[in-house]
Structure 1
Amino acid sequence: MMNQLSKDDRFPVTLRNPPATPGRLLAGALSAVLDAVTGESPAAAVDRALRGLHGVASSHGIDLDTAAVAPAALHAAGRTQERRRRELALLSLYQATADLGRRDTVARLSDAILSAASRLAAPVDAAWLVVGNSSDGWRGYAASGLTVPDALRVVGRAGGMAAVAVRSAVPFAVPSYLDSTLFPHDASADAAIRQDRIGPVLAVQLPVTGANKVVLHLARRDATPFAAQHMAVLSHFAHVAAGQLEVVDALTASRRHAGELAGRLGDRDRSTAMIDELLQLVAAAEPPEPAIALTIIGKALGTPVVLLGPYGQMLAGSAPDGFPVAGSDLINRAAAAPGRVVVECGSVTRYAISVTGSGRSQGTLMTVRDTPFSEDGLADLRRAAAVLGALLTRRSALRQAYEEVRADLFAELLGAHRALPRSVRVMAEANNFGLDRPHVLVALTAADGAVLDPLVADSAALLGGIGGLHEGIHLALLPGTDPRRAADALASRIRRVIGARPFICVSEPLTPAGGRLSDTVQAVRHGLALLKVAGAPGAAATTSELALFRPLFDPDRADDIRDLLDSTLSPLVDYDREHNVDLVSTVRAFLATGGNAAAAARKLYIHPNTMSKRLERISRLLGDDWSEGINGLRLRLAIHLESLSRRPDPAPAGRTAA
């Protein structure tokens, strides 16, 4: 009603809704374009927003050529959509691999693989698994979505697409199964495929060890081909699924042999307990460190067990004093005969077996005995190596997926200019990262240029945060409300590894949920560069302490900062060095007490006469007006920066943040 007043109704009143001026309308239309480009909107929304902007401009007589910016806006919107699709794909991959770990039978796991793969490459109308090899032939194993039972015979004796997928070792897709000439066809299988209206098909090998190969097929009934992003995600998924198949195979074999082992002696009970404990570790939502599995194996075998690298280096385990570690010859022999225990006899007997998973070596399992193993003992060692390989494979795959998701989350948080979209919040929840908790942003670099990646990311994770390299600078987002305490905890962990405290600039507390962290990134970047130019190794400061210098100095122009310090403080520093006096601290105390010489003397624990003599000396070195006007301002800036850059390390090596 207030907006309906005529121009003649003039009386002092404040309108609740300001008039829709051309500027406000143009700003609103431009904001709609930005929302469409950076939001979760399709290209049509960007086009509508641009047309809206053009319409508003035209209605006010402004000739605005929005067609010129349309390609750039559509390209930016496309990149936003592509990035979010990749984030969601990584999250789906992480969830899918975690779901596989909860299946404890081959049948249940096969159904879970079909279901998870169909979600990752959606839309998928049918999926099936085939098992076999070129010598013994192929057979369908499990399927979902097929309406014609004979369609499971899509492989035929020659293998069809499965044989091609195994030879290529990468995901293999055809736009039309029936029309493809890339593989041999089976007449009865083709008839079933035609009746089931199958069109594009994608095949990917699950790289399990052994003679038999496993190939996953995904199919659609429309003509939409599978995209490259689907094949990339399924390539990662295939390795995880293969590792889990080996886990379940080991679990199935263990259960099958449990009945046979029931009547054996007590050592057989220990063997069964070892396998069960190892399988529980493998099936855990978060697979533990390999050392825990080695402890279980060593306890069951009655001898220490270690995991060695290709050159005999210790990867996991704890060998007692005098433990004769294997040389490279024994390791090479074990690697050349996967699945077999290699024996080296002497004063003691060494046993080594290659630990493999998903077709790749994960190390060599080795133990030493004074008395030889029995056949049952050798079998236990082989089974332990198989399960350990599955554990290491699954642990590696989950860690890779986890790190990729956290890296994307970190980049999204630090690059945010506005409130976070829902996709980023979902990623944060999946990683147990509290967006609504107070955090501080830490920027750091080593004084000697030492490499800090991935040390920063690992240290940040141990402190409950997230970190890594962002736009050429090491950053960490840590929980807490005390900037110095969080920064000191991170610096202490870094110092234990590189032997020196890094340069650090830390922000005041902030809440990541609000977005807009990009400005904070620039603030800590500026502060870190300033400390590197002006400070001693190990200098640390907050962005609040350095806020005064941000509009005054450009860290890229390092000479300006050095000139300020040299021209202002050099006479005092040189005199202190030659006469063993501390005129710099005298100036700092005098300025801090507002020019009160008596108060400054008490602060320095010196006699007033000594204070007077020092002030006279300072005047002779800097001039009588050293504390006034522009000279006083320059001196205050230099003293403040010098104090920050030479602050002693406040954190002992063992201290951590609360």
Structure 2
Amino acid sequence: MAGTDPGSGSAAGDGELASYRLRRERELNSLYTTARSLTALGEVDEVLRSIVRHAHELIGCDFAYLSLLDAEGCLSVRASAGTISPEFSSARLPPGAGVGGRVIETAAPFWVSNYQEAQGLPHDPAFDLLVPSEGLMALLGVPLMVGDRAIGALFAADRTERPFEKDEVALFSAFAGHAAVALNNARLYEESRVSVQRLTEAYRTIEDQVATMERAAAVHEALTHAVLTGGGPGDIAHLLVEHLQGTVTVQDRDDHVLAIRFPRGSTEDDGQNPPRDLREEARSTGRCVSARGQDGAFHSVVAVRAGGGHYGLLSLTRRAAPEPADVRMLERSAQIIGLLILTRDARVEAEERVRGELLTELMSGSDLHPAQRDRALARGVDVDHLNVLVVADCPEKAAGDIVRQLKPLTAEWSGIAGEYLGRATVLLCADDADEAARTLHHALRRTLGVPALVVAERIAGQERSRAFTLTQRCIQVMRALGVTDRGASTRQYSMYALVFDPGRAHDLDRFLTDSLGTLLDYDDRRSTDLVATASAYFTNSGNLSRTARSLHVHLNTLLKRLDRITALLGEDWRSPDSALRLHLALRLHELKTVVDGSPRAGGAPS
């Protein structure tokens, strides 16, 4: 195996790393700026136009466009930037067709370097007729996700054939995540405005008695105030109790009570749960249903819905039968509660994304803006004291699912959790990295219910990126060693540091060259398998019969290979000291092959 100049290699590597970090910093700054500008928009059409314009500039493609799913499951182009064909700006793809169909089905990015020649991709004839006029060649699509549901796709296209790099796909996907939140918030804003407008119009059409009109106006004002001030179900229930003079209960989708309010002079006995069949009817019809219970009280129930989802029930219990105006008040209030719940969920999702962005900024190694530091402190995170990095890995669970379980666990260490380069990653402040890894592993194992690896590394200065590399490579080494369920620090696997520490790669290469270089070179030149033969020999404790069986060769063939190894390494290669060194080199070579993903040395057996 040929040697390398450590000095020149290190200098070149440092230069490439510095260039890569500078480029990533510019991309992240651009992503942060564009995402922040999207949050300032309100109208849906304005948000759509801004998304494609920023996407066009961010990825540097020839043109970009955005398609949303309609009621029939088709993808319809809603906005574009850089296109030249008017027909393309109103294109429509049926379900499952093209790159968009693949993105929606998998909820993951997908790209082709040449759309017309892409193999195994269902094509739509109508769309394919538009491709030549637009000059579309290379196409990248990423999903627009709201929760775990794709509402559409964002596309970047070039008029020349080319691949899309991983960094481009990751950057475009991150932008699409922000864009989906901005678009969903705009939709919520529009739904809220329409609902309030409908509520206002409904109350304006009431031509009942003056007292009824005044009461409706008061309720409308109070509901609007609740929406604008971010009130909750309890506020709505309290408002309704004052005007309807009955017990008001708000339940979640699992019938657990979120809020219950009683009128003056009543007791908790008046808050009897509405009959089950009444609740089921309200869910199925989406309207307010009423019935008299066995206790003589009237129960009125309406489902809480918003955005096509079911969020619970709103019920009124009182002695008097509900008036039409009361029914309308309950139905409108249920709509408001649904919108408040959607808004709350959007805030939670935005908070999670802010934490994810903060984690990415910290991992990039760039200095945080003072405003970012203040936002981190407001969330209980002192970035200057984050001294331990933890990576959690579970093949049976997605990284996002692992992150959701880790987030509530980080408060004890004033830490922050998120997804970084596809890995569930945590930065925290801890005195003992081993104890932190064991504690997080125990909690994850209990909540996930499946084996998981949790590895921690103490951070030296601002070397978070290096700590991340060490932890994830250590996880690969642990899996290669057969460890699948444990919490530990990299220190506990320091004897394998030559393999998972990139900073010691030259030491490992020199050791493998000195110990195995002759066999590796011989295997490469002759297409033999002497390295694998020596490894099997030591694995089977020198037993020739077991070694031959494990290699699936005849005993005479094995003896010939061992003679050839003796000729190459010398007569003493099986002596205790030489055998120990050679066995260690073979094991490290195997682990290096697993961690680096490089092909095994050697070829067909001779």
Alignment TM class, shorter chain as reference:
0.3 to 0.5
In terms of fraction of residues, the more helix-rich structure is 2
* Length-normalised TM-score, structure 2: 0.48
* Length-normalised TM-score, structure 1: 0.45
Larger Rg: 1
